[in-house]
């Protein structure tokens, strides 16, 4: 993996060099312009150089979305976070920052020196990387100090999580959902801001109103209300998020294909009958042009009426390009979030036409073929479960705190 990543950095470095002629402009006037402030956050400035560096770094890290928009958003939020840390007297020592750089590099199977060298080859300075890490560590330490005393994990929380994750009990949840579509990079920032605001809803009624107004899910007309669903049927990543919620709480926005999802926990129920974990989900996806147009939905209804099993879809797709029908068996964690969430609602042989692709231009007719139970399960440690639930709840508090700080900040963009 490390050699692949190094090759990726090398290729991107060549592209960056060809496009910009390295990080520093040749003439003095352009160099000076790089350090002109383009955003003021309270009493702090963000320069064009910082935006350029962060955008390039996000490109190298393959961050989703427009790297320039994301760079501006990150740097503004980091100034706000660092202001809050200073106001609380928090100072991060250099050895913590260095350890953070090593930890970050370790995710790419590198050490810090290797990653710094790779970044430098693509025109990103060590200082830019260091400031990126410093801001993250500072916010983590500040929010832990501020919110950890408010968070408790009960024995019931741990027992329920352990049984649910290992198939030792049947847990089902009653959720409400909001799906916010993102059809273009220009729409991403506005939808992320909206999602963060919805995540601070203080009641089910407030969440339901937001669902009716903004959600693209079929449940929007019902205020986002879903039926009871077994926890084991949910996507693995969503299952863990849901386990960290108590009734009345809202998840952080969850990125899905072409959108964001939020979930409100209305109720959770545990029975003595265990439900299996699944090692693989088999499903079929038949792609219909036209998105959610009347013609496409009518075609989906026709297909639904003509099939009883996944095998029947071969007849439906006969004579068409092979890419219109996709069928396979995948591990739950390999299935796209929006597809996995839709499959969780289905029994074998049931279908759905609620998901789209190609920025809404293609309707996905889904059919669940079957689920393969997992025969062996690994018992997570009490410490791991406790830390997971605690960190999820601290993160929820931290996101609300950041929204409050941002609302109070003076942000002037040029």
For 342-375, write each residue's pLDDT tens digit.
Answer: 888 888 889 999 888 887 889 999 999 988 766 4
Of 148, 164, 198, which marks where a domain is finished?
148
Any domain includes 169: yes
Pairing of strands 170-181, 44-47: unpaired
Report if residue 413 sits inside a domain: no
Q: Are residues 110 and 52 in the same domain?
A: yes
Higher pLDDT, 187 or 21: 187
The predicted-structure confidence for 270-323, as pLDDT tens digits, reads as follows 765 555 566 788 899 999 999 889 999 999 999 999 998 898 898 899 889 888
Is 414 part of a structural domain of the chain?
A: no
Residues 385 and 339 in one domain: no
Same domain, 98 and 16: yes
* CA distances from residue 368 to 172, 239, 283, 343, 402 in whole angstroms, order as listed: 20, 19, 5, 6, 40
Structurally, how many domains does the chain consist of?
3
* Mean pLDDT, range 251-280, rounded to an integer: 77
For residues 22 and 117, state if they share a domain.
yes
For 212, the domain range is: 155-275+379-405
Identify whether residues 223 and 329 lie together within a single domain: no
pLDDT tens-digit readout, 37-62: 889 999 899 999 999 999 998 888 76
Helical axes 382-408 vs 185-198, angle rounded to 10°? 100
User: Is residue 190, in this structure, part of any structural domain at all?
Assistant: yes
pLDDT tens digits for range 125-143 = 999 999 999 999 999 999 9
21 and 138 housed in the same domain: yes
Q: Is the distance from CB of 249 to CB of 396 less than 8 angstroms?
A: yes
Q: Are residues 166 and 252 in the same domain?
A: yes
Q: Are residues 297 and 260 in the same domain?
A: no
Q: Are residues 258 and 393 in the same domain?
A: yes
Out of 148, 164, 183, pick the residue that ends a domain.
148
- With respect to residue 410, please indicate whether it lies within any of the assigned structural domains: no
Q: Looking at the structure, do residues 115 and 240 belong to the same domain, yes or no?
A: no
Full-model pTM: 0.50
Which of 148, 176, 203 lies at the terminal end of a domain, its last residue?
148
The domain spanning residue 34 has which CATH number? 1.10.4030.10
Q: How crowded is the C-beta side of 335, counted as CA atoms within 13 Å?
A: 32
User: pLDDT tens for residues 135-181?
Assistant: 999 999 999 999 888 888 877 777 666 665 555 556 788 999 999 98
Say which CATH number the domain at 319 has.
3.10.50.40
264 versus 394: which is more confidently predicted? 264
């Amino acid at each position: 993996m490390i050699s692949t990543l190094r090759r990726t950095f090398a290729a991107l470095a060549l592209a960056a060099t060809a496009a910009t002629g390295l990080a520093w402009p040749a003439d003095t006037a352009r160099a000076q312009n790089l350090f002109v402030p383009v955003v003021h956050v309270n009493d702090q400035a963000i320069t064009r150089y910082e935006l350029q560096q962060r955008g390039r770094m996000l490109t190298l890290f393959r961050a989703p979305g427009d790297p320039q928009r994301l760079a501006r958003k990150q740097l503004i939020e980091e100034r706000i976070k660092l202001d809050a840390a200073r106001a609380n007297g928090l100072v991060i020592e250099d050895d913590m920052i260095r350890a953070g750089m090593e930890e970050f590099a370790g995710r790419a199977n590198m050490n810090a020196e290797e990653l710094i060298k790779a970044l430098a080859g693509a025109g990103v300075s060590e200082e830019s990387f260091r400031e990126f890490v410093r801001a993250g560590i500072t916010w983590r330490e500040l929010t832990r100090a501020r919110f950890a005393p408010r968070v408790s994990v009960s024995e019931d929380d741990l027992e329920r999580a352990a049984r649910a994750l290992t198939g030792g009990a049947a847990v089902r949840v009653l959720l409400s959902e909001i799906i916010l579509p993102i059809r273009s990079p220009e729409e991403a920032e506005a939808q992320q801001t909206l999602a963060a605001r919805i995540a601070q809803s203080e009641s089910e009624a407030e969440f339901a109103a937001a669902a009716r107004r903004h959600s693209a899910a079929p449940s929007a007309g019902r205020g986002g209300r879903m039926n009871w669903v077994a926890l084991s049927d949910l996507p693995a990543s969503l299952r863990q998020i849901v386990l960290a919620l108590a009734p009345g709480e809202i998840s952080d926005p969850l990125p899905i294909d072409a959108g964001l999802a939020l979930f409100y926990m209305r109720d959770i129920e545990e029975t003595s009958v265990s439900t299996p974990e699944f090692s693989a989900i088999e499903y079929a996806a038949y792609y219909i042009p036209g998105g959610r147009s009347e013609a496409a939905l009518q075609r989906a209804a026709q297909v639904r009426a003509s099939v009883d099993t996944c095998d029947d879809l071969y007849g439906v797709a006969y004579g068409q390009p092979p890419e219109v029908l996709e069928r396979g068996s995948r591990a739950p964690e390999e299935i796209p979030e929006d597809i996995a969430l839709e499959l969780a609602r289905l029994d074998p042989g049931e279908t759905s036409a609620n998901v789209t692709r190609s920025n809404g231009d293609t309707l996905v007719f889904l059919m669940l073929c079957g689920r393969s139970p997992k025969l062996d399960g690994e018992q997570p440690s009490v410490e791991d479960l406790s830390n997971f639930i605690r960190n999820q709840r601290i993160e929820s508090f931290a996101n609300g705190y950041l929204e409050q700080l941002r609302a109070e900040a003076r942000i002037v963009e040029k």
